[in-house]
Structure 1
Amino acid sequence: MNVLDRIRKELKGLSSAEQAVGQLVLKDPAGFQTMPVSELARRAGVSSPSVVRFCRTLGYSGLSEFKLRLAASMTEGVPFVHQAVQQGDTGTTLIHKVVDNALHTLMSFKNAAPAQAIEDTAQALLRCFAQGGRLHVLGVGNSAFVAQDAQHKFFRMGCHALAHADGHMQIMAASLVKGSDCVLTISNSGRSKDLLDANRLARQAGAFTMAITASGSPLAQAVQMHIPADHTELYEQYSPMVSRLLHLCIVDILVTRVAMALGSEAQTTMARLKKNLINTRYAK
């Protein structure tokens, strides 16, 4: 997580003076790097010691180190700053914010590169399919659509995959899993009681549990394999979109890794499906 994302995440827990400094950083991160402490204090409406306290609260030795880390964050390959969509945004501004927010989130995930977690999850899925096991994909709300997308993509490769969006169905599926099965849970918050209950039951039944969810969440701590899906989306603004795009991207990475490992077997299955589907279309 870069400096700007960390400030957004921790801003509400800071003192009022420190929040003012944090808002100044988020508003003009490039300008913040060039201003002396006295000018920063004046623009934030706080004292100079408050600026230094803000830096130390975030774990830096002082303003100089904070500026160095901020500059590094600005050159990590994440060229966009997440901006909340406002009620009056229209036209070009709205387009830029929505697209930039998506790019910022995906680039941040790319830079974090949880390669080992993704590889371990893919290997668990391959073992599951090799043993004739089933993949149960769980999700509620917006994540339910991502779960259905995952089911579709694994299914078309010939893998036994099922998506469950209803809480009762999730509990029933978790109760009926076998030791060769896997449960992949997709959740933005990682705090849904239904999903946590289903994962607990699945682990008790011997299934291997995995999750695509926020770091530090109860779900991340409850499963055997966690792929971190962290972002700076503001839930209170509008219906979550960035999280869905991030989750879809992670699913695509997992599907691609599994397809590569399956090799010609998956390619042959998908080619046969494509041919049969083409035959169902009306002639032009």
Structure 2
Amino acid sequence: MSGKLKETFSTAGHTPGPRGAPVPPPPAALAAKVRTLAPSMTRSMQRVAETVAGDPAGSAALTVTGLAERTGTSEATVVRTARVLGYPGYRDLRLALAALAADQAAGRAPAVTADISVDDPLPDVVAKLARAETDCLADTAAALDTAQLEAAVGALAAARRVDVYGVGASGLVAQDLVQKLLRIGLLAHAHADPHLAVTTAVQLRPGDVAVAITHSGRTTDVIEPLRAAFEHGATTVAVTGRPEGGIAQYADHVLTTSSARESELRPAAMSSRTGQLLVVDCLFIGVAQRTYDRAAPALSASYEALAHRHDAR
């Protein structure tokens, strides 16, 4: 395994602390972590995660034994859940729960919203969706590693060429990033066809950038071209809700997203677009700022070209 690959395995998805240990997520990001990671947990761990996110005040008052009894699990399961959520142990999770409960009591943090049910009237659907989207944006912003974002922006701003991979809903986000980069003068391509994606990825070299967008982190059609780009020396960026899904091992920079609350009518693959689009906008604005002398004239030219096209009609 290359040194680059080893380093990525050890650091992807975590911001190192002063001694190199991962820093636990802030209390406000706890609900987002539960929404993101719960689908990949065991049933018993899901019960623990959903309990602490749904009732942080009540859970913070419980010992590890008490929480295990409340959720019908074991103390070992409670500790494992805390670690999966990013905390060294239950004590750290309990402190975060107490802080989150205090923020919620003071109105500084929202409570977990209710799922959309099949018999909800449309006004309730609108209200629940709006709240879920708002929470998703806040969760993504709170959890986004700005050091990783800065590094990704720097790579994109200096790139000779940018390839972006995504399929399904993530493919739409990939197209959005590419059209933004094109309008500020970067050479960028979006690849939804997995064969074409791999074919072009092996042509990338140092100085090029490959961006993979996948909420699950396990989409083979996205992982394979990113791996090829990584192995050929391109700088690689992963935009994902689940770095543990495998995508991070081929990413130099990992940007973690959240998704709106998953429900039967709105699975994570659909709700994830909100967080992904926020990250895409952050990348675009960051690159435009760094390349302003080139980006501003390019934007003006694209606006004028489109205005002329509309006028001609």
TM-score normalised by length of structure 1: 0.80
Q: Write the deviation string for residues 25-84 of structure 1: whole angstroms up to 9, x where unpaired.
A: 555556x379x87xxx8xx9x957969958666333499757524414636954252433
Within the candidate set 264, 280, 283, 2:309 is matched to: 280
Going from structure 1 to structure 2, the CA distance change for 1:107 and 1:171 (only over 3 Å counts) comes to same
Gaps of 5+ in 2: 1-24, 83-88
Match of 2:153 among 100, 122, 133: 122
Amino acid at match of 2:119: G
What code does the residue aligned with 1:266 have?
Answer: A
1:248 corresponds to 2:277: yes
Question: Which amino acid is 2:141 matched to?
Answer: K
The residue aligned with 1:112 is 143
- The secondary structure found in structure 1 opposite 2:254 is strand
Q: Return 5+ residue gaps in structure 1 as ranges.
A: none
Q: Match for residue 263 of structure 1?
A: 292
> 1:189: which partner in 2?
216
SS, match of residue 119 in structure 2? coil
| Structure 1 pair 254–6 and aligned structure 2 pair: CA distance change class (3 A) | closer
Q: Could you tell me how far apart the structure 2 residues matched to 1:180 and 1:259 are? A: 18
* Residue identity (%): 26
Q: TM-score, normalised by structure 2?
A: 0.73
Instruction: Work out whether residues 83 and 101 of structure 1, in 8 Å CA contact, stay in contact via their aligned partners in 2.
Output: no
CA 1:280 to 1:195, structure 2 compared with 1: closer, same or farther past 3 Å?
A: same
The equivalences for 1:199-214 within 5 A come to: 199-213=226-240, 214=242
User: How far, CA to CA, are the matches of 2:141 and 2:192 in structure 1?
Assistant: 28
Is residue 2:101 matched to residue 1:71? yes
Larger RCO (CA under 8 A, 6+ residues apart): 2
Quickly say closer, same or farther: Cα 1:283–1:77, change in 2 above 3 A.
farther
Measured after TM superposition, the shift of residue 187 of structure 1 is 0.8
In structure 1, what is the equivalent of residue 193 of structure 2? 166
Distance verdict in 2 for CA 1:76–1:158, change over 3 Å = farther
In 2, Cα distance between equivalents of 1:204 and 1:56: 37
2:176 corresponds, among 114, 126, 149, to: 149
Q: In 2, Cα distance between the equivalents of 1:49 and 1:270?
A: 55
Deviations 1:221-248 (A, max 9, x none): 2211111113464375425333111111
SS in 1 for 2:115: coil
**How many Å separate the matches in 2 of 1:109 and 1:232?**
10
Distance in 2, matches of 1:49 and 1:199, equals: 40
Paired residues of 2:51 and 2:59 also in contact (CA < 8 A):
no
* Count of aligned pairs: 270
* Aligned counterpart, 1:220: 248
Larger radius of gyration: 1
How far did 1:112 drift? Answer: 2.4
CA distance in 2, matches of 1:63, 1:279: 57
| 2:123 is equivalent to residue 60 of structure 1 | no
> How many angstroms apart in 2 are the aligned matches of 1:23 and 1:160?
44
The Cα offsets for residues 81-116 of structure 1, whole Å up to 9 and x where unpaired, read as 243322112222111111111111111122224111
Contact between 2:115 and 2:263, CA under 8 Å: does it hold in 1? Answer: no
Q: How far apart are 1:139 and its partner, in Å?
A: 0.4
